[in-house]
């Protein structure tokens, strides 16, 4: 072919025919996929026909994804599909906690994204003991029992739930499926060797894999940042985002990949330290640069306020981010204009509780006096 003389239309057909180079998610019979071999194109007419067939296949895939993602029928399908795959945990206490979280987070999201009312979330608790949650197409979510058993409080789990709802609000799974569609898959759709229930099953398998591990670091960051935005419209402790990632660091390491792992085992998620520090920076900004925390120490206006003692199953550093969250909220809401007082064992800045001391902490009065002097 004389590429210089080829028409723009012909060139576009070639691009359409050869640009789908994602990953193959399904291994079905080749059927008539060999009809799409470049060796059998039959000149420009064949190339144009091939491009048209791929475009039609992609449109069919997009239509099926839209049905599963945007309709009540699709949402019902996903709910049944996920429950069959993962099972349902009927623990009444955990289910009530999850329902409360979903109601609070839905109300928060509504304040920044009213489209949530067009497609309400469906959710369930599953019995998996690992720390995870996921959101698939159709705004169907599930939280593992292990997530409830891992985190120290609902404030931390709410950040995880908000992250998954961020994926849902931005249709990350549906977008990833369309982005992942490779030439073989489109050839199977176009040749009608993959259609009907087979196509739905294939999309569901892709969607399930993507929902559990979104293969795009940029979308992970977007979901983290959306979770923060949603949480600012709740009464949850804003330090819980940094706290939950500190807990993950303590339990599984920072997951920083170095050297050869960056080439042969690239992570599709930001590492734990980066995610924690992202939330710390947001807390600093939210407080008007009055508050920060590092290595377990909490600083106010550049002066050390406290290193909280470990408490039950919470380390000193994890707890420090919860204290930072309370302080950030107090400064953001103007409570720093009021005196710091003590109520029982709780240090208060105006009406905002800062921390409740335990036997290993300095006394509440000592901390209140210090905070009064540096606030």
Q: Tell whether 349 is covered by a domain.
A: no
Q: Tell whether 20 is covered by a domain.
A: yes
Q: Could you say which residues of the chain have pLDDT below 50?
A: 1-41, 46-47, 257-267
Paired tokens of 3: 């590429």
Domain that holds residue 193: 8-77+180-207
In this predicted structure, what is the pLDDT of residue 176?
Answer: 87
Q: Tell whether 173 is covered by a domain.
A: no
Q: Tell whether 276 is covered by a domain.
A: no
List phi, psi (to 5°) of 77.
-60, -45
In this predicted structure, what is the pLDDT of residue 55?
Answer: 76
Instruction: State pTM to two decimals.
Output: 0.80
Q: Tell whether 164 is covered by a domain.
A: no
Listed residue (251, 316, 320) closest to 280, CA to CA: 320
Structure confidence by residue, pLDDT tens digits, 140-193: 999 999 999 999 899 999 999 999 999 999 999 989 888 877 666 776 776 666
Overall number of domains in the chain: 1
In this predicted structure, what is the pLDDT of residue 19?
Answer: 31
Q: Tell whether 345 is covered by a domain.
A: no
In this predicted structure, what is the pLDDT of residue 48?
Answer: 55
In this predicted structure, what is the pLDDT of residue 375?
Answer: 96
At a CB cut-off of 8 Å and minimum separation 6, what does 177 contact?
61, 65, 137, 203, 206, 207, 210
Q: Tell whether 256 is covered by a domain.
A: no
């Amino acid at each position: 072919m004389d590429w210089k003389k080829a028409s723009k239309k012909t060139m576009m057909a070639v691009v359409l025919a050869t640009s789908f180079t994602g990953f193959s998610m399904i291994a079905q019979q080749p059927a008539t996929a060999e009809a799409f071999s470049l060796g059998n194109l039959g000149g420009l007419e064949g190339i144009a026909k091939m491009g048209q067939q791929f475009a039609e296949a992609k449109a069919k895939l997009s239509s099926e994804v839209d049905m599963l993602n945007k309709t009540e029928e699709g949402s019902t399908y996903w709910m049944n599909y996920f429950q069959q795959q993962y099972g349902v945990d009927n623990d009444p206490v955990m289910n009530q906690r999850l329902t409360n979280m979903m109601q609070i987070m839905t109300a928060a999201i509504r304040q920044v994204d009213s489209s949530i009312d067009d497609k309400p979330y469906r959710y369930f608790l599953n019995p998996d003991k690992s720390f995870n949650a996921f959101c698939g197409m159709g705004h169907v979510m599930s939280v593992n029992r292990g997530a409830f058993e891992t985190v120290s409080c609902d404030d931390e789990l709410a950040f995880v739930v908000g992250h998954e709802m961020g994926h849902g609000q931005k249709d990350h799974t549906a977008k990833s499926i369309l982005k992942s569609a490779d030439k073989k898959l489109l050839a199977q759709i176009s040749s009608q060797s993959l259609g009907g229930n087979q196509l739905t099953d294939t999309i569901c398998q892709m969607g399930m894999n993507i929902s559990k591990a979104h293969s795009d670091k940029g979308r992970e960051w977007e979901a983290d940042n959306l979770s923060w935005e949603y949480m600012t419209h709740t009464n949850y402790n804003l330090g819980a985002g940094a706290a939950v990632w500190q807990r993950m660091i303590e339990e599984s390491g920072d997951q920083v990949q170095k050297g050869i792992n960056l080439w042969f085992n690239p992570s599709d998620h930001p590492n734990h330290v980066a995610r924690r520090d992202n939330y710390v920076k947001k807390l600093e900004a939210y407080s008007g640069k009055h508050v920060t925390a590092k290595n377990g120490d909490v600083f106010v206006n550049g002066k050390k306020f406290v290193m909280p003692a470990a408490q039950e199953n919470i380390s000193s550093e994890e707890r420090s981010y919860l204290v930072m969250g309370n302080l950030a909220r107090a400064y953001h809401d103007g409570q720093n204009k009021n005196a710091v007082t003590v109520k029982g064992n709780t240090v208060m800045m105006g009406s905002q509780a800062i921390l409740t001391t335990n036997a290993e902490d300095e006394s509440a009065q000592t901390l209140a006096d210090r905070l009064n002097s540096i606030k």
